[in-house]
Amino acid sequence: MSRLNDLSLATQVAVFHNKRAFDQLVREYQSPVRRFFLNLTTGDGQLSDDLAQDTFIKAYTHIGQYRGTSSFLTWVTRIAYNVWYDYCRSERGRMKTEMLDTAAPMTNGVAALVSSPTPQPTLKMDIHQALGQLKDEERTCITLQMIDGYPIDDIAKITGMPANTVKSHLKRGKEKLVDYLKKNGYDR
């Protein structure tokens, strides 16, 4: 869908509260947004859909703020990142409380909470397991660049991080992934 068409639909939603226009936007962009969350949650389909739903509802309530300077998908992805960030923050708080209650060892990031505890030998699970090795910020940057194809400048805009920080996360994330893949024999 062209940016002009996106802007036209967004304007119809903002000015005339045209829900059909918003429905068109949701149908067009549900796949990349849900895929983004599916990779961040390392494969938790239900959680991904819940977060994606929150994202689109936020997009609807703030549609007047879309100016068309970037693509609608980039704008929605920025909202999605904020939804993910809020979710991680609330989960970290909850995890800390639970850890204190049960005195269990602390794990790194939300991935540990949502990923499958038993490894499965499918390629789909492999990518999520590989992404599960990364910190939340590294996984976000890697997902945005390697899967969604965003350049570093756009990743910086979406995440609100400085471009150099994004580069560092990408470098460290890729090193960890390559190391993980080599250790598991994928380089043969």
Point out which residues bind another protein (CB under 8 A): 17, 19, 22-23, 26-27, 30-31, 34-35, 38-39, 49, 52-53, 56-57, 60-61, 123-124, 126-127, 130, 146-147, 149, 174, 177-178, 181-182, 186-188
Query: Looking at beta carbons only, is 31 or 90 nearer to another protein?
Result: 31
Query: Looking at beta carbons only, is 95 or 126 nearer to another protein?
Result: 126
- Tell me the H-state helices in 41-162: 45-61, 72-102, 111-114, 123-131, 136-142, 152-159
> Which amino acid, 75?
W
Query: Looking at beta carbons only, is 60 or 85 nearer to another protein?
Result: 60
Q: How far is the CB of 181 from another protein (least distance, A)?
A: 5
Query: Looking at beta carbons only, is 57 or 104 nearer to another protein?
Result: 57
Using CB atoms within 10 Å of the CB of residue 76, give its burial: 0 to 12 exposed, 13 to 18 middle, 19+ buried: buried
Q: How far is the CB of 99 from another protein (least distance, A)?
A: 31
Q: How far is the CB of 29 from another protein (least distance, A)?
A: 10
Alpha-carbon distance of 58 to 122, in angstroms, equals: 34
Q: How far is the CB of 92 from another protein (least distance, A)?
A: 26
Q: Hunting for tokens 């910086």 — which residue is that? A: 156
Angle between helices 152-159 and 163-183 (to 10 degrees): 110
Structure tokens at 174: 């890729």
